[in-house]
Each structure stands twice: as structure tokens, then as C-alpha cells.
Structure 1
Amino acid sequence: MLSEKTIEIVKSTVPVLEKHGEDITKHFYATMLKAHPELLNIFNHTNQKIGRQQSALANAVYAFAVHIDQLEKIIPDVKLIAHKHRSLGIKPEHYPIVGKYLIAAIKDVLKDAATDEIIQAWTEAYGVLADTFISIEKEMYEEAESKKGGWRDFKEFYVANKIKESEVITSFYIKPKDGSKVASFLPGQYISVRVKTPGSEYTQIRQYSLSDAPNGEYYRISVKREAEEHKPKGIVSNYLHDFVNEGDTIEVSVPAGDFVLNLDNKKPLVLISGGVGITPLMSMLKVASKEQPERDITFIHAARNGRYHALREEASSLGAKVLFCYSDPTEEDIAAQNFDKKGYITSEWLQEVIENKDADYYICGPVPFMKAVYQALVDIGVKEEAIHYEFFGPSMKL
């Protein structure tokens, strides 16, 4: 337990963290990874380059300081991060390393403002936070390993089938090399894929949502090739598309994540996806259609056009009310009338097509898409607690 004095000192640093948080986390990652380059086998290099990891950590540290006297309020966020840590292979021995360089970064960035009293308080506070993560992650590792078909850390899978779903999305059907059954999962969860790409000194780990219903035989991930000119090229996604073929081996973690479909909720279900955000929602759609055939389900997917639209036929075959929104339909799309709205999803359109607003909502897609859809749902009267969402990459808030 932290003393009242320690809590008071940590809370007093909240304004400073709000102003200098990202400077601290940038300095932290730079110094830690220089001293411990082996951790590059775990961290997403692209998120490091574009600053998303630094921003996510700064937000987490800030939230911890704000709620240090009511830590129960951040437990949901801790569990969200812990899921990712377990799927990446973060272990207890990593926490002292992180603590050492995080405290040093606070001291280096804040300079004289980081008094001995502040450094001591933050050292104690970090110890409590680290112990919380270690305890939660221990339970997650044990659960992953003990479940039927489960394992610890990473396991070799081979690609049983590789299917091109659209211009940019390809599905990989993967099975354990040892011939065992695969652990079950909850619709919406993801796996981590670990590969060694040509010319890279370190392994690369990426998390991909499972895009099929649990079946005990295989996992399916549907991967978008990240190759847009205005974005960093996806090292792993391009490697999977270009070099990983049927029969090849990749390493995989046990499914993780808490962005999952609540099958205890009997309200109408509305699933809204954009681009490759269709992947976790496809799993949700398939499971809900099978296990809750009486449930009112609306599935809305937004894509550039038919050439970029993955899993279209599969979604249309499951008995839900299915609507497609194309921002830039082709002449073929227009001639075939194979979409329901041209342009972007708007609150006015959602007002028309969602018959019962008192529903359970799940959204996934690019960040601008999710922000727009989230606001559109709020605008038509949907309560915020009814809207569930997940980001691909470090956690953020809409």
C-alpha cells in the first residue's frame, strides 16, 4: 500500500505529466532500447517511429497519477494492456528494466523539478503498478496455458490456406504444426503473430484479429497490406502477403483481448466496421448468427468500393440485416447496385437504417472512421456505455 504522503506527491505531478508526458516517454523508450536492444524483439518498431507507443504510455502514466488514490478505476485499462502484454510475451523480469528507465526519464526531462522526494514517490508508485500488472498477467498466462488446446508464449503454426479477399486483404488459415487442436477464443479476440523478416536483426510481433468463429481446428486472420504512400509501410503485413505461403510456418500466441461480444445481452446487435476493421466483427457476426438466431442483428460495413471489400459474400450469407457503404464506388459497383450508400456513414443515415436504437453497438476500423461513427451514434441518442470499440495498436480513447 502507498502512504498518503506518496499519493499526495504523485498527484501533485499530474499537471507536469499533462504537459511533459510525451517528452518523458520518448526519452524513456530511446534510452531503454539503446541499453536493451533485445527488447526490440517485443516492441512494435512502427508504433515507435510514428509515436503511438509513446503517446499511449504517456496517457497510461497520466491516468495512473490521476487515479492513484482510486486505482480500482483504472483496472479495466490495466487489464486491456495486460492482454496485450501476455500476447507479446512480457514477463515479470521486464518490469524492473522499464521502471529503471522510466524513473530516469522523469528525472532527465524534469531536471531540477524532479526532486528527490518526487523520484522516491514515483519509484514506490511504479512498484505498486508493476506488481498489479505482474499479478494480473500471471493469471492470464496460467489461463492461456491451462485451457483446452492452450499453450504458453508462442507456438509454431503452418499456413493451411491463403486466400485473397480483396485488393488489399488476404486471409491466412493457420493450424498447429504439431497437429493439436487450437484453443477456443471469444469473438473479437486477436492473436499475436511473430516472424523474422528478411534483413531484420530482430523478430517482429503484430496482433491480428481472428476473423472466423471458433472451430477447434484452425485460426483465420485476414490481413490488410499496409502500403499507402502517406503511411509507414507495414513490415509484417507486407511480409505475410509477399513471402508467407501455404505450408510456411509462423509463430502464434494464444488468443487474447477483451473487445469481445457479450452474448448475455439480448438487445438488438449493431456491428459497424470500416476497412480491415471487419475482422473482429465478422467473428462476432458469425457467432451471434449461430448462437442467437432470434436476435435482431444489423451489420454495417464501409469500404472504398467493391474491389476493397473483403468477406462480402460471407457477411451477406449469415441472415443478418447487412448494409454496405462505399465512399468511392466503381462503375461496376454502380451498375450492379451492390452497395446501400455512397459516401460516408452519417448520423442521418444511421437514424434511418437502425430501427431500434436501444441496441448493443460494436465498432472497429481506422481511427478517423471510429471517431466519426462514435459521434454519429451519440448524435442519434445512443448511450456511450452501449458503444464498444477497439483500436488496432496502442490503446486510445475516442
Structure 2
Amino acid sequence: MLTANQIALIKASVPFLEEHGLELTTHFYRRMLEGNPELKSVFNQAHQMKGEQQMSLAVAVLAYAKNIENPAVLAGAVRRIAQKHCTIGIRPEQYAIVGRHLIASLGELLGEAATPELVDAWTAAYQQLADLLIATEQKIYDEQANVEGGWSSWRPMRVANRVEECRDVVSFYLEPADGGPLPAYAPGQYVSVRTFVKELGLVQPRQYTISQASGTGFIRITVKRIAGDTTPEGRMSNHLHKYLKTGDVIDVSAPTGDFTIDVKAEHPVVFIAAGIGITPMVPMIETLATENPLREVHFIYSTQNSETYPLRAEVERAVSGMPNAASAVFFTKPLEKDRIGVDYNAEGRISVDELRNFCQNPDADFYLCGPIPFMKSIAEALRSIGIIAPRIHSEAFGTGDWE
């Protein structure tokens, strides 16, 4: 329990964090990964190279400092962070390592301003947050392990099948190498996969949405290859495309995530996706087609052309089985062979006017997934036509929250 003086000292740190938070977290990660290089296999190095983890942590530390008097308001953010941690196997003993380097980094950046009282305050504040995350993560681990077919941390999975979906997109069908069952999972949830990346000389984790409804006996992930296998974005996707074959075994985390849908609800739902952002939408639509086929559903999708449209057959099969469902496909760069009205419905990007056609019911929920600029523009367009924020749900791939 923090004292009143410690709380005051933490709140007094807010201006420093607003101005130097990213500098602090960048220094921290560099210090920690140099001092404890074994953690390079825990933290995705692509996110490190892009600065995503540094920025995400800076935002989190600032939010924590601003709400130090009532950290309960951050419960949603804490759970999302804990879910990410559980997919890479974070354990309680690692928090001591993180805390040691974070407090030391704070002292090194503040210099003489890092008084013993301030250091003590931040040490206590960090331990409070660590205890909260540890408890939340343990609850998630327990939930994952104590269901039929469940597990926590990593489980070896065999590639039962590999399917080339379209240009630069491959689906991997994963089944437990131990021969056991899989747990039921909610549509929209994700897993991490972990494998040795030769170019880095490290085991690396990467998160992928499960792209198929539960109950098939497989966990399917659908991976887009990012051009350039020397870039941070492309290293893992290229590795999986090049090297992961049918029969291979790879470590997989238990499913988790809150970007899910209330399948039993009756109000309309609109799915809006671009590119590989289609992956969480497919299991949602498949599940609705089976468990609530009369629900009003609209699927709006943007991609370049017919050669960059993964999982199309799955979407069309699910939509065709729902009498109150419809889809609209936008091609930004249609090919000569692509036929409007057959392969796609409109050329160009999704506009406000086109969205308005799907927003007649104010009770509709909207699910967005795709590149961050795409989601920002769609969310802004939805708000401009009167859709309230609680009705807009989104998922950003990578680390942190795009909002």
C-alpha cells in the first residue's frame, strides 16, 4: 500500500514521463536486454527494432502514474497486457528482473533528481503494479489450464496441413503433438507461436489470430508474408512461409484475447476489415452462421484484388448460409480479370457514404481490423455519422493499442 507521500511523488513524476517517457523505456529495454540477454527470446525483437514495445510501455507507465490513486480504472488495460504476457509465457519471477532494470533506468536518467524517497516511491509503485499483473496473469493461466483440452504457457503443435490461401498468405492447421484435445475458444481470440529464427540466433514469439471457428480439432493461423525478410515486420512471417512445413512441430500458446463477439446477441453486427485483418472476422462469421444464423450481419472488406483476398471461400460460405447477411467487397487495385459485381462490388476505398448504408440501425455493433491508418479512418468515419464509441470494437496486430 503506497503512502500519501509516495503517491504525491509518483504524481509529481508525470511531467517528466510526459516529456521523457519514451527515452526512459528505450533506455530500460536496452539495459535489461544487455544485462539479461536470455529475455531476448521472450520479447519479440521485431517490436523492439520498431520501437513498439518501448512506446507501449511508455504509454502504460504514464497512464499508471496519472491514475496512481485509483489504478482500478486501468483494469481493462491491465487485463489486455496480462493476456499478451500469458501468450509469451511471462512468469512471476521475471517481474523482479524487470523492476530492477526499470528503477535503475529511472535513477540513471534522473541523476541527482532521483532522491532516495522518489526511488522508494517508484519501487513501491512498481511492486504494486507487478502484483496486480501477476495476479491477473495467474488467473488467466488457471482459466486456460482448467478447461477440457486446456494448457498454460507453451504446447507443442504439429502442422497438420499447410494451405496457400492467396498471394503471400498461408494458413497453417495446427494440432496437438501430444495427441490430446483442444479447448473451445472464442471467435476472434489469438495465440502466440514460438520458433527458432536462424537469422537472429534466437527463439522468437509472434501473435496470430485464430482464423477458424472453434470445434474443428485444429487451431488455424493465417500468416501474411511481409516483403523483405531482413525487416522487423517480415522476419517471422518470412521464416514461417519459408520453413514451416506439414509435419513440423512448433510451440503454441493457449488461446486468449477480448476482441470477441457476443454470439447470442440479437442486434445487428457489421464487420469491417482490410487486408490480413480479415482473420478474426472469419471465425466470428462462421460461428454466427452456426449458432445464430438469423442475425443481421454485414461484412465489408477492402483489399487490392482477387489475388490478395484470403479466406474468401470461408466468408462466402458462411454469409450464404445466413438469410439476413450481406457482404460488400472493395478492390483498390482490381486486375483486368476481376469482374465488378462478381469478384467485387466497388472499386476504391471504403467511404463515409458507403458506410452510411450499413449504419441504419443505431444498435449495431461494429468490428474493425486491419492496418492502423485504416482503422483510424473507419472509426472516425463511423463517429462522424453518429456511431457511439462503445459500439466500435477494434483489434490492432502487434503490441499495445492503436487508440
TM-score by length of 2: 0.95
Do the aligned partners of residues 173 and 208 (structure 1) sit closer, same or farther apart at CA in structure 2, a change above 3 Å counting?
A: same
Distance across 2 between alignment mates of 1:229 and 1:209: 21
- Aligned runs of 1:36-115 on 2, under 5 Å? 36-115=36-115
Distance across 2 between alignment mates of 1:161 and 1:216: 13
Distance across 2 between alignment mates of 1:167 and 1:368: 23
Partner of 2:348: 343
Distance across 2 between alignment mates of 1:368 and 1:357: 25
How far residue 110 of structure 1 moved from its aligned partner, in angstroms, is 2.2
Alignment of 1:379 with 2:384, yes or no, is yes
Distance across 2 between alignment mates of 1:264 and 1:15: 46
- Aligned runs of 1:155-170 on 2, under 5 Å? 155-170=155-170
Show CA shifts across 1:364-387 (max 9, x none).
111111111111111111100111
What is the aligned length? 398
Do the aligned partners of residues 37 and 125 (structure 1) sit closer, same or farther apart at CA in structure 2, a change above 3 Å counting?
A: same
How far residue 112 of structure 1 moved from its aligned partner, in angstroms, is 2.6
Give the residue type in structure 2 aligned to 1:279: T
Partner of 2:369: 364
How far residue 106 of structure 1 moved from its aligned partner, in angstroms, is 1.2
SS at 1:388 equivalent = strand
SS at 1:23 equivalent = helix
How far residue 228 of structure 1 moved from its aligned partner, in angstroms, is 5.5
Distance across 1 between alignment mates of 2:232 and 2:124: 38
Distance across 2 between alignment mates of 1:39 and 1:32: 8
Show CA shifts across 1:300-331 (max 9, x none).
11111111111112101213311111111111
Partner of 2:322: none
Give the residue type in structure 2 aligned to 1:368: P
Cα RMSD (Å): 1.6
SS at 2:333 equivalent = coil
Partner of 1:185: 185
Structure 1's unaligned 5+ residue stretches are none
- Aligned runs of 1:1-398 on 2, under 5 Å? 1-215=1-215, 217-227=217-227, 232-319=232-319, 320-334=325-339, 337-398=342-403
TM-score by length of 1: 0.97
Give the residue type in structure 2 aligned to 1:138: Q
Do the aligned partners of residues 172 and 386 (structure 1) sit closer, same or farther apart at CA in structure 2, a change above 3 Å counting?
A: same
Give the residue type in structure 2 aligned to 1:313: A
Show CA shifts across 1:26-49 (max 9, x none).
000000000100001110101100
Show CA shifts across 1:66-103 (max 9, x none).
11111111010000010011110000000011011111
Structure 2's unaligned 5+ residue stretches are 320-324
SS at 2:170 equivalent = strand
Aligned sequence identity (%): 40
How far residue 229 of structure 1 moved from its aligned partner, in angstroms, is 9.3
Give the residue type in structure 1 aligned to 2:356: Q
